[in-house]
Amino acid sequence: MRRKVVVVCSIMLLQVAQVVAFQLPSETESPKFHDLIEPRTNVVVRQEGGKVVFEFINAIDFGPTVKKNTPNDRITRVRVVNIFSEEVWRIEAPYGGQGVSSVTYGVVPKGFKQIVPKGKKAPALKINEDYRVWADWVGAAASFVYQGGK
**Per-residue model confidence (pLDDT) at position 61:** 72
Q: Could you give phi then psi for residue 24, rounded to 5 degrees? A: -120, 70
The strand ranges marked E within 36-137 are 41-48, 51-58, 77-82, 87-92, 102-104, 113-116, 130-135
**Per-residue model confidence (pLDDT) at position 66:** 72
pLDDT, one tens digit per residue, over 17-59 is 333 333 333 444 444 444 445 547 889 999 999 999 999 988 7
**Per-residue model confidence (pLDDT) at position 58:** 84
DSSP state of 38: S
- What domains does the chain contain, in order, with CATH numbers? 30-145 (2.60.40)
Query: How far apart are the C-alpha atoms of 48 and 70, rounded to whole Å?
Result: 22
**Per-residue model confidence (pLDDT) at position 74:** 84
**Per-residue model confidence (pLDDT) at position 4:** 47
pLDDT, one tens digit per residue, over 62-118 is 667 778 878 888 899 999 999 999 999 999 998 888 889 999 999 999 999 999 999
Environment class of 75 (CB within 10 Å of its CB; exposed 0-12, middle 13-18, buried 19+): buried
**Per-residue model confidence (pLDDT) at position 137:** 65
**Per-residue model confidence (pLDDT) at position 80:** 97
State how far Cα 88 lies from the chain centre: 16
**Per-residue model confidence (pLDDT) at position 48:** 93
Return the higher-pLDDT residue of 80 and 150: 80
Query: How far apart are the C-alpha atoms of 18 and 40, rounded to whole Å?
Result: 20
**Per-residue model confidence (pLDDT) at position 6:** 40
Q: How confident is the model at residue 150 (pLDDT cuts 50, 70, 90)?
A: low
